[in-house]
């Protein structure tokens, strides 16, 4: 995978989104806060990036799920925070390449 080619293929995107917190979600070895994109700006950005990256994608392709990971690992199957914010606002975006064993590389 050639990083310069990928960077040049990415559309220019605004980096600020306000996402509503839906609540906690637990999956196998993951606890996350699910987010809702009522305004659609984050979903549009994701679709634009996915389209630009289509020629470079490898492996499985999953549906997009906006979330913030709180915990990951063996034995992690629940969380009970005292309070969650009602919204989360992004200030910047970083594209990551996913590697095996939950290792991520900022591009």
pLDDT score of 1 more than 60: no
Which helix H or strand E contains 78, and what residues bound it?
Answer: none
Helix intervals (H) in 14-106:
41-53
Angle at 51 between CA 41 and CA 107, to 5 degrees: 85
Domains of the chain in start order, with CATH, are 3-106 (3.90.1140.10)
State phi, psi for 84 to the nearest 5 degrees. Answer: -120, 145
Write the CA distances from 56 to 12, 50, 52, 65, 66, integer angstroms: 18, 10, 9, 20, 22
pLDDT score of 70 more than 60: yes
How crowded is residue 20: how many other Cβ atoms within 10 Å of its Cβ?
A: 15
Residue-wise pLDDT for 19-58, tens only, equals 898 888 887 778 888 899 888 888 888 888 888 888 877 7
Provide the edge-to-edge strand list for the sheet that holds 30-36.
67-72, 30-36, 18-27, 87-89
Task: Select the more confidently predicted residue: 34 or 71.
Answer: 34
Average pLDDT over residues 78-85: 64
Predicted local distance difference test score (pLDDT) of residue 36: 92
């Amino acid at each position: 995978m050639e990083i310069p080619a990928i960077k040049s293929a990415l559309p220019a995107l605004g980096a600020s989104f306000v996402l509503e917190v839906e609540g906690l979600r637990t999956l196998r070895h993951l606890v996350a806060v699910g987010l809702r994109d009522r305004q659609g700006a984050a979903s549009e950005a994701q679709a634009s990036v996915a389209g630009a990256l289509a020629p470079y994608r490898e492996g499985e392709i999953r549906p997009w799920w906006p979330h913030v990971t709180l915990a990951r690992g063996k034995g992690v199957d629940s969380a009970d925070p005292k309070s969650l914010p009602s919204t989360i606002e992004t200030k910047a975006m970083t594209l990551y390449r996913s590697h095996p064993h939950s290792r991520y590389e900022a591009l």
